[in-house]
Structure 1
């Protein structure tokens, strides 16, 4: 069995956990732009995912799955416009999008992702 590596960990959770060649990212939300424009929140969340992927030894070309929770499905066009530019061509992960009550009404979205690291 390999080692488990925890990234950006605190007593409650880890930003990512890497085990057996897979990086499991916790749900990412916009911290700097919470309550702001949806496009700004989407850009921040995708950037936060990029940072965690690099720390985990991966990148967006290695994404396996993404679960996207939206506070309101009406923001889907804004999300999709940014997502389509962000995802590496030919490397789109599986993706599920759902409407959900998020931890704060200031959050427009939260994205959970999993990626290969080796």
Structure 2
């Protein structure tokens, strides 16, 4: 069975299947923020969505991070490593040079265990 939560006009933010939680791409609402600010906003959204799904950041298995500016990776990494404890860091890819919407510096997609 597939469980879907938080429906928008174009997708569900959360899909759950066989004990795995899939959270679609999240971006910051405030595009005026710098990379650290946008990353923190996304991490806050992830905390809320993971809780809605019945899990937490400690159970993230994989993160796909898309950024329009690879040179700002260090700012993202600082927020990321402050947000997730070292023993819970997931597998991860950082794809720089992504063509994101205007003002969007980063988009994050995660998969987590329940």
Q: TM-score, normalised by structure 2?
A: 0.94
Q: 1:79 Cα shift?
A: 0.3
DSSP-derived class of the 1:15 partner: strand
Higher strand share: 2
What is the CA–CA distance in structure 1 between the aligned matches of 2:87 and 2:8, rounded to whole Å?
35
What is the CA–CA distance in structure 2 between the aligned matches of 1:114 and 1:43, rounded to whole Å?
18
The equivalent position to 2:63 in structure 1, one of 63, 66, 69, is 66
What is the CA–CA distance in structure 2 between the aligned matches of 1:16 and 1:34, rounded to whole Å?
23
Q: TM-score, normalised by structure 1?
A: 0.91
Where structure 1 has 5 or more consecutive residues not aligned to the other structure, the ranges are none
CA RMSD, aligned part only? 1.0
Displaced runs of 4+ in structure 1, greater than 2 A?
A: none
Q: Number of residue pairs matched?
A: 113
1:84 paired residue number: 81
What is the CA–CA distance in structure 1 between the aligned matches of 2:7 and 2:105, rounded to whole Å?
24
2:41 paired residue number: 44
What is the CA–CA distance in structure 1 between the aligned matches of 2:5 and 2:75, rounded to whole Å?
29
What is the CA–CA distance in structure 2 between the aligned matches of 1:11 and 1:76, rounded to whole Å?
31
What is the CA–CA distance in structure 2 between the aligned matches of 1:10 and 1:79, rounded to whole Å?
27
Where structure 2 has 5 or more consecutive residues not aligned to the other structure, the ranges are none
